[in-house]
Amino acid sequence: MAKGKATSELNIAIIHPDLGIGGAERLIVDAAVELASHGHKVHIFAAHHDKNRCFEETISGTFPVTVYGSFLPRHVFYRLHALCAYLRCLFVAFCMLFWWPSFDVIIADQVSVVIPILKLKRPAKIVFYCHFPDLLLAQHTTFLRKLYRIPIDYVEEVTTGMADLILVNSNFTASTFANTFIHLNAKGIRPAVLYPAVNVDQFKEPSSFK
């Protein structure tokens, strides 16, 4: 996006599983700050946001952060993490659907299962940021794990393809996306590459260390 204020103000929502201090969260926060600096209205929705363990921008007032579903479990006896993440994000999506007015753009991060719900919030366009296919990060080592992942992996591919725009963080991830989601690739669904932002202000002054 070019420097300066936007010529048309957009109402943008971002839905994220957990606003912690990881790389995915850093990207989302940087995107929200940049969009807000260009005059857009940005609102982040999350299933969890620990104000004692988060990036400063999420509590500075630059944009509002609304949490739904923090009472829902992240796991069941340290298992079923993916299923719990799906349920938590679906809860957030339903809250957005029923309790908030329409948005121009909704950015879904990491968890694609919310996309069919968000598509009901017309006329919003849905952007999905895929850091890496979750099915490649999950373990498929035992029969029960494989059985557990079958519906989750299927839902991931189907719902990812429902986004109006899919973004990935590198050309490598784009090629991995094509090789992993072969049905989407066969349909001609290709993600665009949006590299994670870097705060160049930190390089203005020379450092005293090597």
Q: Is 55 left (phi over 0), alpha (psi -120 to 50) or beta?
A: beta
Rounded to whole angstroms, how far apart are CA atoms 175 and 168? 10
Domains of the chain: residue spans and CATH: 14-196 (3.40.50.2000)
Question: Quick one: average pLDDT of 140-145?
Answer: 79
Rounded to whole angstroms, how far apart are CA atoms 20 and 197? 17
Digit-coded pLDDT (tens) for 16-63: 998 988 888 998 999 999 999 999 999 999 999 999 999 999 999 899
Residue 9 to residues 4, 12, 35, 37, 103, Cα–Cα distance (Å): 12, 9, 10, 11, 11
pLDDT category at 1 given cuts 50, 70, 90 is very low
The reply to whether the predicted model has a pTM over 0.75 is: yes
Instruction: Name residues whose C-beta falls within 8 Å of residue 8's C-beta, 6 or more positions apart in sequence.
Output: none
Digit-coded pLDDT (tens) for 112-128: 999 999 999 888 999 99
